[in-house]
Structure 1
């Protein structure tokens, strides 16, 4: 059984992972409603081909998604932010 574990959401997007019983999430998903630009491209070279998905996301939405992801994964220390009980860290009792 699975459910969506929300990481970040806004009026036009939802960033989430699939909650599976007893498992840590291995992938995340980003749903965009009416993206400003959406392109699917295919590049072929000899016998190999590669697919590309290009989506335009407003900067403000990407900022919120990135910050929420850093908090969810407790990566503040990796980006030079607070860790432990410091203000702004995930373990800080004040938000």
Structure 2
């Protein structure tokens, strides 16, 4: 898991036996929302939640590479699915 965290940009290597997470939860949330301009990745409307593309329940990490901005409706509808497609509610 440590190797994946470093590869996906969630942690940095301090020395060969130690990594350090790069973001606090609030900094990470702000980073993802600002990166995506507060636009839901699924429907294009205003988004203010973070969605894990590969859900945490299926082994996904909380890393910039695995998280996107989503509106609450899309985030709830996607839940822990891997093949979510927006279909205009």
TM-score range, shorter chain: under 0.3
Q: Provide the TM-score with structure 1 as the length reference.
A: 0.27
Query: More helix per residue: 1 or 2?
Result: 2
Relative contact order (alpha carbons < 8 A, sep ≥ 6): 1 or 2 greater? 2
Which one has a larger percent strand, Structure 1 or Structure 2? Answer: 1
